[in-house]
Amino acid sequence: MNYFAHETAVIDEGCTIGGGTKIWHFSHIMAGSVMGENCNIGQNVVISPQVILGKNVKVQNNVSIYTGVTCEDDVFLGPSMVFTNIINPRSAVSRKTEYTPTLVKKGASIGANATIICGLTIGEYAFVGAGTVVTKDVKPYEMVYGNPGMHRGWVSEYGHNLVFDLDGMAVCPESNEKYTIKKGVVTKLA
């Protein structure tokens, strides 16, 4: 075993867990799920079958990641945030064959108590604020918050607000990396 699991964690047979991953108290990792290297799974987390987590994904306490969700490398999932996987759930109607996929792209952060409606894509390095209800796709580097989630600005890969000048250029105050915006699309310059 090349990962750490607290003695109270339940790890079903048939899941894949990358080296260096840590799984904490009372979490349940279900068969068929896949986790990359160096993930951190907080307390009371459920990872359902066929969920895919890339490398270095941080899942905070009380998060349930349901079948149909894929998180790429370096994703942050804040405490008690929620994914859905069926558009029209009903207790008396089985829709286990109707899961709608959700994709969280590399480096995105989703804040505490946010809700992500299924079938969406959260773009690279996007930032979803705490308590946000996301009802539509989030662009790369976009910051959204509110209910429903609305565009509030742009962020760098370090999570700082980007302020674009008249030429469509911005600089991250921490990394000094440069970004450009054209027709509502943000790109980091090499």
Cα dist from 134 to 22, 79, 166, whole Å:
28, 16, 30
| The residue type at 57 | V
- Asked if 156 contacts 162 with a C-beta cutoff of 8 angstroms, the reply is yes
pLDDT digits (tens, 9 = 90+) for 83-129: 999 999 999 999 999 999 999 999 999 999 999 999 999 999 999 99
pLDDT digits (tens, 9 = 90+) for 11-64: 999 999 999 999 999 999 999 999 999 999 999 999 999 999 999 999 999 999
pLDDT digits (tens, 9 = 90+) for 161-189: 999 999 999 999 999 999 999 999 999 99
